[in-house]
Structure 1
Amino acid sequence: MLLFGRKAELSALAEFVDRPAGRGALVCGEAGIGKTALVEATVATATAAGLRVLTTTGVEAERHLAYAGLHQLLFPIRAGIDALPAPQRDALRGALGLAEPGEIAPYLVGLATLSLLADAAADRPLLVVAEDVHWLDRASADALAFVARRVESEPVVVVATLREDERSPVQDAGLSTISVSRLPDEAAAHVLDSVAPGLAPDVRERLLREAAGNPLALTELPAAVDEFGRLDPALPLSGRLERAFTARVAALPAPTRTALLVAALNESPSLPETLTATGLALGPGTPAVEARLADADTHALEAGLAEPDARTAGARLVEPDVLAPAVEVRLVELRAGALVFRHPLIRSAVPAAASLAERRRAHLALADTLAQHPDRRAWHRAAASAGPDESVAAELERAADRALRRGGAAAAVAALERAARLSEARDAQAARLLRAAELAVESGRRDTAERLVRDAQALDLSPRRRATAAWLLSGFEDGVREDVSRVAELAELAASVAADGETEPAARILWGAAMRCFWSEPGAAARERLLAVTDRLPLPADDPRLVSISAYVAPFERGADVLERLRALAGSAGADPATDRHLGSAALQVGAFDLAARFSAAAVPGLRAQGRLGLLTRALAVHAYSLCRLGDLAAAVPAAAEAATLGQETGQPFMYGLARAVQAEIAALRGEHDEARTLADEAERVALPSCARPVLATVQLARGLAALSEGRFDDAFAGLSRLLDPADPAYQVALRAYCVAELAEAAVRAGQADVLRDVLCDLERAAAATPSPALHIGLRYARAVLAPTGEADELFEAALRADLTGWPAERGRVHLAYGEWLRRQRRVVESRTHLRTARETFDALGLVAWSERARRELRSAGEASPNRDAHAREKLTPHELSIAQLAAEGLTNREIGQRLYLSHRTVGTHLHRIFPKLGVSSRADLARTLRALQDR
């Protein structure tokens, strides 16, 4: 294939084929710019190099059919599905319609697709081609993006094409972008001369000017030049090209035009389907078609849309020869039982040239042909409807249910919205619009959800539906970007809904409002109103929702009750991962980081298995935050890294920011100050524009820790003090109370002890109302380091006598501060015991900055303290550490892949890198090494 002017693009694509080892390219450009030609050349190169090629093409008519594109891509290797692990196998078979689906998690489908492609690539490298990804159904596009992000070490290359100014999830999958621009003048002239030699000079010049370097225009516009050598200058280039194709279609015989119209409206390239439907469209033939046409004609007449056209009698048997004229003029190609349009603009030009009656007839014919494909049939019936039709609306609603079971939320939203437009009763219309809006919220599609809610609110809604419409949009980003007055409004809304006896909707509204109390600060009055409404709900006191709402809204005032409920519920942790996730967050609010780590750890495996990555992100963030506060950096590092990755992937910017802030805190504790600053700055950039308070609070904590370990005590005190200033965006009601120890230390070393004593009065009052472990641990530490000389001994001993089981970092902190105080009191021998304990504790936990400080103090106390050797596992990236820990637990590569949403071959590649870093040669050695490090 000779392509003029595309040497650079072909070379870039050839590089991926020459070394097929993960990722690939996204080829972008305007319609007709030659993206398909580049892909075809790449496919030819790949085939010659021995790669296997799998392809799928987005079709606009298929956008509402969940996993239609993925089905096309994986069909040639579907036999390998049976070898997948059971959860993946069942999910993928259900998604592709190869089995009756249960509830399918989209990310589990993505993992199954990755595993299937990786297995196929083990025999022969793969080139995965996805054309026109802007028209892929959303479920398929998400699965493809999932794969593209994770083919790190697989012999799999992904090449996708995207039309300019369109959007697709594949854009965010990390593929290299190849932008295809218009051809330079010399190459454009070569193209035109090769397809239309001998043009008159003025016509040639005009065509070159009009085509402006677009290859499709250069090859197609010559046929559109009138006898005077003119083109319509009023149309854009794509319009002129469509008009050129339309003119070519208009010259075809009527049966051929009908066949082309049916093919253009059909979602499938299946030639038998097109021929069967064409036969029905050419004549009524069956009572079913006749009845539907009559019914549709009645709607059309009533709506004043069209006059029904005359119909031929008798359905026809149509042979492939009917398409021969279209093949001759290069509009379509016939390939092994498939009809393929030469370009998407041809496909769009054909329906545009048909009348409304012709399009309706074609849709109805397709609906009759597709009786065994209920989803496609429903959409064709809907397209043929000229007005409200409850039977079609109900059929679309059933299609939405099927799409949901297969994990196709976007397809379900589209089906429900279309069903709403066809609903005959206003109440049914409102119900379908609101259900579609709720699914759009869950899918993260804010613009769609807002539009659907506005449409529903324009109807005469019942009180319950008005309530649903009012709170639906609160699901986005936990209301971070909304005005804080919204919290009080939600409280009143929940009260009115509860008064109507609607307990469940009221509880959901209150939960959304409670989340706002975490991310923003609505004020005491709004918090009190939320509690008052919550208290009146007829739910058991130990209902996890009530426990969580109380924790978020009143972490100190209700702290004692929340902790009692949490400890009682801890015995059932692991029963329901979503509930555990909520309870983990509740425990974090009240400073019970040990319980927060326990609940979130219980939630993570279940959320992984269910493929609920949105909730998994939140559970991992809470887990990482809690573990970091407890000092368990070895476990916090991979949890925070995965939470950050998934936060980006699932479109949760503030969870991403929180995970990044926790990573900054970890870096500060490890003495990696430059890294801590970089991560804190990144998290702040995410959170500051919307004042996401928990992120900003954690950023200030990380900066304060870094400043403490660098000896910048004034900076540390100034930064940490911001957490206690209600006027500061870093102020967060709960989290402000859980950095007391760090603040106390900064104050003492910065000479601000008297200032801190005044500040602590507020927290002492809060402590009187709650048994919050983190708050009381911090206050005991602060009282000791701030105490007069005569009282300090007893206060330090009291801090050490407290139950610090599960809080090793806090115990180490007290030993360090006590040892430092004893040395300053010239009780050097006594100080060494505490300093040595602190050093050993911090060494074991990997808190490098703190262990180095203990070493310096020990040397000052006259005891040699050699420099600490870096733990072997600190040589691993967070990703590698996750894999190493799971391998040490005895999991196979495939099981690790399922846990971390990687292919098992990628896991194997990582282990080959991990073994030399740790100086081990087997999994047994790996387990022993990590176990020894854990025991240190």
Structure 2
Amino acid sequence: MQEEQQGAGQRDVVLPRRGERSTVSTTFAVREPASALAWPLVARHAELEGALAALQDRRMRGWVAAGPPGVGKTRLAEEVLGAAAKHGYRTARVTASRSSSQLPFGSVAHLLPAEARGVEDPVTVFDVVLRSVREQVSARGGSRSVVLVDDLHLLDGTSATMILRLLDEGLVFLLATVRSSEPVDEAVSALWRGDGVRRVDLGDLPRRAVQTLMHLSLRGPVDAGAADDVWETSRGNPLYVRELVLGALDSGALQQVGGAWRLVAPLSPTPRLVEVVAARLDAVPDAGRRALELLAVAEPVSLDDLLAASARPGSDPLEVMQCLEALERAGTVRSFLDGRRTTVRLAHPLYGEVLRAQLPELARRRAGLVLSGRVKAYGARRYEDPLRIATMQLDATGTADTELLVRGARLARHGYDLLRVARLARAALAQQDRLDARLLLGEALYELGEFDEAEQVLDAALDATTDDVALVRVASVRTALELTGRNRPPEALRVVQQAASRARTEPALHALRALEALVLGFAGRAADAVALADAVVGDGTPSRAAMVASWARATGLTLLGRAEIAVDAARRGFAMHEALPEVLAVYHVSVHLSAESFALQECGRLAEALEVAERGYALATRDRSPWVRTRLARMAGRAAVLAGQPRTAVRWYVEGLSVARAHGHDAARKMLLDQKALAHALLGELDEAERALAESAGIEVSAVVYPEHCLGQAWTLAGRGHLGAAHRVLEEGAARAASAGDVSSERRLLHDRARLGEAGAVADRLEELRRPDGGPLADAYALHARALRDGDPTSLAEVAASFERLGCTLLAAEAWTSVAAALRRRGSAREGARAAVTAKALVERCEGAVTPALRAVDAVVPLTRREREVASLAATGLSSKDVADRLVLSVRTVDNHLQAVYAKLGVSSRADLARALRPGGGG
């Protein structure tokens, strides 16, 4: 997740969308120019600190960054050089090159003293340079100079020898970059041999670092799917990341959708990136080039096939083998054992992009036919072979065997490659009207957000079904389309019931009952859903039906207020799903993680809940399952709100909205907007909250919206001071929840009424809603309302401590504020001040949250600016005289201020004061 920021100096230009659906205009934040974006150092801070530590250690002579091209060696070294300059070191820079490496002192000529220029004798030059540098170091009190040599492997021998002498005398500290795959002269390698030079081997950036880099550069949230695509294509090489992002900005493929940057068209390399990659590949001999082109068309390729297909007639396969060996040493290809077969693939996805772009169309088709023919000749025994053959033949000829296309589409579905599923299934249907191909195409279209076409394909498939197995599978996808695509539970129920009327076997009816349980849960009939799901799950024997029913059961149990049991149900469903032999016509596995996160939240296990939601979101992003991503973004945001992290919640809702808008999930968009409004309202950002509510109100969906989604409206009204209207919204929402048996939502809505001043009206009902298996959060809700109603500081303090243990920081802060107010009303000013200090420390951890209950904190602890200055210094242990000297006050004035602070904070000594002012102290 990335922080939501609005970059300065942007202008919004409305651009047409490409490739994805949207119900709102898309804005593309244009920077002038795109190439001027700042690219901060990311995921290299440990290396930076290590280099600076080496610089400050007189025993160390240097620091060398090694790695392949583009990993950021020079960028990191420049950061070290800049930091050295800020620390007062004298710095110099040398850029070695192939041309300068042919000349004595060619790389350092610009640094030579005037008296050394034009001198041909190297020994004389050495003496002049040594004398000059010794004088400079002596003048600086012995502080050595720092010299950065970029591309040290290209340094000429005489320059290397001169730098070595400076290192030996301790006059300079060497910073250097080295390309790890390049041969190095003996004189140059001597510079970093030994213990005195620290070498760091830099690799590519991990996925999360790429998303962070994009976020910081683009100055706004980045969709996880877009970051994943950039990482997959660049493999984390910072140079490649930069060029891909700039190219996507220039082409319009990378746009801001719903506040987050996302890709609306495929990535393509920039001309500069093509040049960089092509330069690496152009020097490859013909035999190796043919092998690379074959890999670009259909990697991975077995070594035997690659040798046979790359060798020209009459040529020696050993020549190709030697070329491949050289390419592997250079890091251009990689080989690995796959069973008993040695397989070869390109070392980087961009190599394939560039090679394919340079390959003539007929040559590309011929390569595909050659390789697919060899795989078929060996019997296509590997699991993935049907997919590879089908794709190669379709690319080469536009057609393939129908059975092969269907098998390939099924394998692509197992790997969640939905675009390939759709392509292969369409090709199969163009040759033969097959039910399995229709099912594959319909499911892929549903997942891709093409709901109207998916409906046509699936309805035709339903009409064509003649057996119960096919009936259940098609009905499952058609139900998902209505339930999670369009959020129309009545229509989904109709699909299930019509399928049940046609089913003839008990297993089929059993599976359809599981679907019905799921639909009932979405329709707000939790009790009916759980009862039906219990019957399907039975003794817990794993099956597809039991897996679907477990999801319905977990969600329904949570809504019924039985969250502790629901956690186990969600985990059982996940385990069953993981064990399925194939994933056709089933929901994504992470739906169970969504249900688990929801249940964990209601149990008050918020850290676990957020971790589970994040894990599920990563899985759904990896597999490109958009609806589940929106659901998990909502769950992560909900957990963050309960934990008192509304700013984090906003980031999650922005992420989810970007996905929902791009894929036409209007119901999910409405729910995300409502919950985003709540987070903004808790932050006091009422204009943003009202904008979210207005957009939500404009979305017309035939949907069941859970009652707690009215929270955004209620808290926005409260923020505007309309408490009466806010209470009416919450009261009506709680009534709807009660009528539906939605205990979870009713409890939360009633508790928020208590937070907004109506504890007396809801305390008894919250007590009635407590369950033995409801979890500690439900207990805390009830106890909080009762303590607020009674104004009992002891009970309020116990509840506040409970909220702290559960990780509900905002609720704990509000409760401690209530403790402070209750104590002051009872005349216990000192104890009240102590409670207020605790509340204030908790508020500081709530990301800027502002609620009516928190507005009393500053009133309870009204320290003036001068009182805070005096208190802060005294808390460090300074005497009154020392504080007086620091602030230019009299000792008597300091003591008077301290007495006032002690009274307000309820403390009696400097030690108590230090604890009271410490974050989390005072309680």
TM-score, normalisation: structure 1: 0.49
TM-score, normalisation: structure 2: 0.49
